[in-house]
C-alpha cells in the first residue's frame, strides 16, 4: 500500500487522485468539528468554498444550517461558527449543515477526484486507519494548510496516520512527504496538545479565547466515526 501526503491544497491539485483513498485533514478545527458534529447526530455536511455560495444553498433549503468562519470567527447571520463546542446534539441532531471555512472546505473541494474521500482528525485516528486498511487502496493525505501554505498541525496529523498504519503492521511504501510527516509526528506524539497549542493557528485560537477548542482537537481516538465525502455531501455511511 503506497501512502503519500500533500502539504497544501495547491499541492494536492498536482497529484493523481483517481483510484486512491484521500484523507482530508483540518485538525484545527474543521475536520475535528465535523467529527464532533457526527458524534452528536448531524445528518450531513455540504462543504462549499465561499460565504455567498453557503448563503445561496441555505436560501434554497431553509431547514439546512449555515455554518463556518473566516479568521476563526463566526459569520453574520450564520447558525454556527467552527467551534466543535457549537455542535451540540440539540443543535445539530438530524440536520444538514452547509459549511464554509478558510482552508478546510477548500481542501475538501480539491479532494473530490479520489475514489473515496474520508474526513480525518486526531479524534478518529484509529477508526479512520481501520477503514483505510479495509479499503485497501493507495492513500493520499490532503492537508488543508493555512491560506495555501504549510501548517504543522495538519502535517503532524497526517504523520499520525502513517505511524498508526505502521504500528498496525501494514506494509507501506512511503513517499518522502509521508515519511517526513511521520517523523514530525514521532517528535511530538507524546504531547499532541502541546504541539497544537504552539503551532501558529493554535496560538491564534488561544489568543481569541478558543483554547478549549484546541484541547478538544487533541483528543486522540475519542471518536469512532469516519465521515465520507461523496457526491457533494459528507455523511456517515455505516
Ligand atoms: C480552517 O479552515 O482554516 C480552520 O478550520 C479555521 C478555524 O479554525 O476555524
| Domain ranges for the chain | 2-224
How many whole angstroms separate alpha carbon 221 and alpha carbon 203? 23
How many whole angstroms separate alpha carbon 123 and alpha carbon 125? 6
* pLDDT, position 156: 98
Q: Ligand 1, closest atom to CA 31?
A: 5
* pLDDT, position 53: 97
Strand order in the sheet with 228-230: 73-74, 65-70, 96-100, 44-47, 233-235, 228-230, 116-120, 21-25, 139-143, 2-6, 173-174
Any idea what DSSP says for residue 146?
B
- E strand spans, 121-172: 139-143
The greatest distance separating any two alpha carbons of the chain, rounded to the nearest whole angstrom, comes to 49
Cis peptide before 71 (omega within 30 of 0): no
Helices 152-167 and 176-188, packing angle to 10 deg? 90
Q: How far is the CA of 171 from the centre of ligand 1 (A)?
A: 33
Residues contacting ligand 1 via CB (< 6 Å) = 26, 28-30, 69, 72, 82, 101-104, 144
In the chain, which residues have pLDDT < 50? none
Cβ atoms of 216 and 36 closer than 8 Å: yes
* pLDDT, position 213: 98
Q: Ligand 1, closest atom to CA 33?
A: 5
Which cell numbers in the block locate residue 223?
471518536
Which cell numbers in the block locate residue 150?
504549510
Q: What is the CATH class of 2-224?
A: alpha beta
Q: Ligand 1, closest atom to CA 105?
A: 2
* pLDDT, position 132: 98
pTM of the model: 0.97
Q: How far is the CA of 228 from the centre of ligand 1 (A)?
A: 19
* pLDDT, position 226: 98
* pLDDT, position 140: 98
* pLDDT, position 137: 98
Amino acid at each position: 500500500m503506497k501512502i503519500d501526503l500533500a502539504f497544501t491544497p495547491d499541492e494536492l491539485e498536482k497529484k493523481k487522485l483517481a483510484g486512491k483513498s484521500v484523507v482530508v485533514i483540518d485538525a484545527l478545527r474543521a475536520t475535528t468539528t465535523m467529527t464532533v458534529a457526527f458524534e452528536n447526530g448531524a445528518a450531513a455536511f455540504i462543504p462549499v468554498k465561499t460565504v455567498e455560495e453557503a448563503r445561496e444553498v441555505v436560501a434554497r433549503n431553509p431547514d439546512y444550517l449555515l455554518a463556518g468562519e473566516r479568521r476563526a470567527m463566526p459569520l453574520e447571520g450564520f447558525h454556527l461558527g467552527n467551534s466543535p463546542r457549537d455542535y451540540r446534539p440539540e443543535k445539530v441532531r438530524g440536520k444538514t449543515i452547509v459549511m464554509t471555512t478558510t482552508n478546510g472546505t477548500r481542501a475538501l473541494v480539491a479532494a473530490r477526484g479520489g475514489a473515496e474521500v474520508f474526513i480525518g482528525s486526531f479524534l478518529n485516528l484509529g477508526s479512520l486507519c481501520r477503514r483505510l486498511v479495509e479499503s485497501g487502496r493507495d492513500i493520499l493525505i490532503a492537508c488543508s494548510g493555512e491560506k495555501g501554505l504549510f501548517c504543522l498541525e495538519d502535517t503532524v496529523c497526517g504523520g499520525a496516520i502513517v505511524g498508526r498504519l505502521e504500528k498496525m503492521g501494514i506494509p507501506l511504501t512511503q513517499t518522502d512527504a509521508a515519511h517526513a510527516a511521520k517523523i514530525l509526528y514521532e517528535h511530538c506524539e507524546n504531547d499532541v496538545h502541546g504541539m497544537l497549542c504552539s503551532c501558529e493557528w493554535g496560538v491564534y485560537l488561544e489568543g481569541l479565547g478558543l483554547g478549549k477548542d484546541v484541547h478538544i482537537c487533541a483528543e486522540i481516538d475519542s471518536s469512532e466515526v469516519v465521515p465520507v465525502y461523496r457526491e457533494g455531501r459528507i455523511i456517515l455511511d455505516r
